[in-house]
Structure 1
């Protein structure tokens, strides 16, 4: 289920050819959303899973995993798995005045190069994203190249980062469910002051166990 965010001054009678046609494309027009942009009925819908800073909607057959720090018990990321593809979600605080995806993207690209891999910028449905190809060592000690897509979406005082892994990183058909899932995310930033790039707090849903995938 995808919800469309209404513009504050949306006017259905705006004439074509006006300056509005030249405005930058709003990549968040159909999600992901800020909690202030949706109603309580959306946040509390039965198919949605409340993870604190992120409220998500799973696809049929999708499993939910949580990456938890063993020492602190803090949930660091959300992992949504479907067949041989996955979507990792992380959310960060950002300044009121500007987004941080441009800066973060450059840092991710530099880290990929440091690891001996490559980072290529490309334009996707969420704006500028990165395609990373980095060397990875498997449990047997063999080195292989892993491809991933890193998508960043700037919202009001937050950055949502989605990393597409597996077959969805290289095949558009497999990527479609992951992109739809990302569009359905609602970010609950909260009003408390936070340092830019600080992780927004995530929590386990009721009855979940750390590192045990649950049906999403």
Structure 2
């Protein structure tokens, strides 16, 4: 798997859809993090994933169709691309982006207290920031619980202003918060959302046992073998 760097704070991305061919689609949901019933929209919350690493066995984490990114172990879908937002100055991976056709799913993980989740508080702050930017934020109930629908003004490279809609999903787990942002067509057309939700169900969060301050980002890394390829290109 080869990654290439772009500019500072830009993305390192795969050279193609690395999750397999179309005929392999039936195999992408295997291995413990089952989203059985998720396609029907029945599970709410974390009962069908995403999972904590203590909730799945080692064989699941090490399966060939899983990509170990440190704090997040992901399973994509056929034709889906993995892009990693990398700070070029520090070399740190800041976020994971799964892209399928004209939709995307951004993933970030944070530490949380032992006693309570932080999504409710973080959700209010995100909504306030969207309003400050001149946009709108509305709460809605989705398959993972309460989520936000944001509509914010964005400037394109030509200087034109347009409205961008996104779904921000927060999932409280054991001492962690997984924040997922659905972008593109899947954010506005319900029929395009299942592949993004399917991939989110199959995420495994590796929190670790070390003490961390609430909201501190959980460390992400390039997949095994990708670092060397990136350095060769540089």
Per-residue Cα deviation, 1:161-203 (whole angstroms, up to 9, x for no partner): 0000000001112110000000000000000000000000000
- Whether the aligned pair in 1 keeps the contact of 2:44 and 2:142 (CA below 8 Å) is no
Per-residue Cα deviation, 1:149-168 (whole angstroms, up to 9, x for no partner): 00000000000000000000
Per-residue Cα deviation, 1:12-49 (whole angstroms, up to 9, x for no partner): xxxxxxxxxxxxx8611100000000000110011000
Answer yes or no: is 1:57 the counterpart of 2:78: no
Counterparts of residues 1-216 of structure 1 (less than 5 Å): 1=29, 3=32, 27-208=45-226
| Root mean square deviation, CA, Å | 1.6
CA distance in 1, matches of 2:161, 2:55: 45
CA distance in 1, matches of 2:75, 2:150: 26
Question: TM-score, length-normalised on structure 1?
Answer: 0.86
Relative to its length, the structure with more helix (as a share) is 2
Question: TM-score, length-normalised on structure 2?
Answer: 0.79
Shift of 1:4: 5.7
Shift of 1:208: 2.6
Instruction: Provide the secondary structure at the position in 2 that maps to 1:47.
Output: coil
- Aligned residue pairs total 192
- Whether the aligned pair in 2 keeps the contact of 1:55 and 1:185 (CA below 8 Å) is yes
Structure 2 unaligned segments of length 5 or more: list them: 1-28, 35-42
- Whether the aligned pair in 1 keeps the contact of 2:149 and 2:167 (CA below 8 Å) is yes
CA distance in 1, matches of 2:155, 2:198: 31
2:14 equivalent in structure 1: none
Instruction: Provide the secondary structure at the position in 2 that maps to 1:91.
Output: strand
- Whether the aligned pair in 2 keeps the contact of 1:4 and 1:29 (CA below 8 Å) is no
- Whether the aligned pair in 1 keeps the contact of 2:33 and 2:56 (CA below 8 Å) is no
Shift of 1:85: 0.3
Structure 1 unaligned segments of length 5 or more: list them: 6-24
